[in-house]
Structure 1
Amino acid sequence: MAEDIVLYTHPFSRGRIIRWMLEEIGAPYKTEIMNFGAGMKSADYLSINPMGKVPAIVHGKKIVTECAAICAYLADAFPERDLAPAPEDRADYYRWMFFAAGPLEAAISNKALGFKVPDDRRTMIGYGSFEDVVDTLEAALKGKDYIAAGRFTAADVYVGSHIGWGLQFGTLEKRAEFQRYLGGLAKRPAFQRATQLDDEAAKNLEKN
């Protein structure tokens, strides 16, 4: 698609996921750094994302929010980049991307907040237990360089980002499979470009 892309983000946010995805796509895009608080709650930005959070993208006249949705959308919008499997081969692609968006993020967030699901209430919460989620993710990655389709896809951008944060902030154990998987993804030029761009944006914010 030839329409302009605008990324609304903050370097200390999940917007880093979408920066990486956009660098993998390779299409030109404009970056709007949004300040936490008043900037994200302004009327103009709320017309883009009523949640008042980043990231969001505007692609021509289309608005997409939620990181997993943005990754999936961009993979489909730019099929020439081959970042999504063929439709008939997307079972694992969708499964693990949305596993990360649902059970993994919820389990990690709750752990970070000090909340543990009581053993007798596990059936009431979608992910069951933190331990089950982490063990399931580890098993899905065992012996694999990529989470789906036997090659790099948008699902690796999303799953890899969650694992990266978990290892960085200590919300995931430094298991060998997680470190090996992330180490391979971190070698990608698009990942390195995105990291540099967000690190530079963070430094500029700290100066101001």
Structure 2
Amino acid sequence: MAEDLVFYANPMSRARIARWMLEEVGAPYRTEWLTFDGTMKSSDFLAINPMGKVPTIRHGKTVVTEAAAICAYLADAFPDAGLAPPTDKRGDHYRWMFFAAGPLEMAVSIKAFSLNVPKERERSIGCGSYESVMDALSFAVTQHPYITGETFTAADVYVGAHISWGLQFGTLEARPEFQAYWDRLKERPASKRATAIDDEEMHRQLAAAKG
């Protein structure tokens, strides 16, 4: 039932990743739109996610936060969608999804904020160097058509979203293998539906802010 799966979101956030995953799953869900300095910090929402952040989903009595965790959870909760490989073949599925959630996002953030990690201290942080992360990401997207092989999975939603944003905003190197990988994903109907939903709400919020 639609009321059983609730999605807390803002269209100008990482909730766009979870929206794409929800559209791939195809199960009915209800969206609760939240504002950054308003409803996201309300006592009602903080009781659901103490971080006061989106994306967050509530599936019955189960609450899941963090975009990578939401992607992994939905793939397991709705197996008929075929978005997770068989259990004995999930190595790359988990490996690269959480690589993107950890080392990739950390390396991109460090670079975006022009933070300097001395060469001799790179082993002290989870991502190492930006260059080594880019090389690892290149490896991930060139071994197979999709992250886990010949079939699209939740890992492609998460990794693909990061690559899409990185290419759009210049936080990733414009390597041809990144563009080729994104080209394989960007025409997916679920991705287009998700983008249309979030873009419509984004324009509505921006128009409302202007008065």
Say yes or no: TM over 0.5.
yes
Secondary structure, aligned partner of 2:41? coil
Structure-2 separation of matches of 1:3 and 1:86: 29
1:161 equivalent in structure 2? 161
Deviation at 1:106, TM superposition (A): 0.5
**Contact in 1 for aligned 2:142/2:177 (Cα 8 Å):** yes
Structure 1 counterpart of 2:7: 7
Counting only pairs closer than 5 Å after superposition, residues 80-91 of structure 1 correspond to structure 2 as: 80-91=80-91
Change in 2 beyond 3 A, CA 1:200/1:2? closer
CA RMSD for the aligned pairs? Answer: 1.3
1:141 is matched with which residue? 141
Quote the offset at 1:32 in angstroms: 0.9
How many angstroms does 1:2 deviate by? 8.2
d(CA) in 2 for partners of 1:64, 1:3 = 16
1:28 matched to which residue of 2?
Answer: 28
1:193 shift after superposition: 0.4
Q: Is the 8 A contact 2:2 2:29 kept in 1?
A: no
Task: Kindly provide the CA deviation profile for residues 30-77 of structure 1, in whole angstroms up to 9, marking residues without a partner as x.
Answer: 111110112211100001110011010001111000111100000000
What are the residue-to-residue correspondences of 1:32-51 with 2, within 5 Å? 32-51=32-51
Q: Which runs of 5+ in 1 are unaligned?
A: none
* Alpha-carbon displacement from aligned partner over 1:148-178 (angstroms, at most 9, x marks no partner): 1321000000000011111111100111110
Please give the residue correspondences for 1:3-152 in structure 2 after superposition, counting only pairs within 5 Å: 4-142=4-142, 144-152=144-152
1:175 aligns with 2:170: no
Cα distance in 2 for residues equivalent to 1:43 and 1:184: 42
Secondary structure of residue in 2 paired with 1:28: coil
Q: Is the 8 A contact 1:89 1:149 kept in 2?
A: no
Identical counterparts, % of pairs: 61
Amino acid corresponding to residue 126 of structure 2 in structure 1: G
CA contact (8 A) 2:3 2:29 kept: no
Aligned to 2:197: 197
Conserved 8 A contact 1:144-1:181: no
TM-score by structure 1 length?
0.97
Following the alignment from structure 1 to structure 2, what is the Cα–Cα distance between the partners of residues 101 and 152? 18
Which structure 2 residue ranges, 5 or more long, are not aligned? Answer: none
Count of residue pairs the alignment pairs up = 208
Change in CA separation of 1:58 and 1:36 when aligned onto 2, cut-off 3 Å: same
Name the CA distance, whole Å, in 1 between partners of 2:143 and 2:25. 27
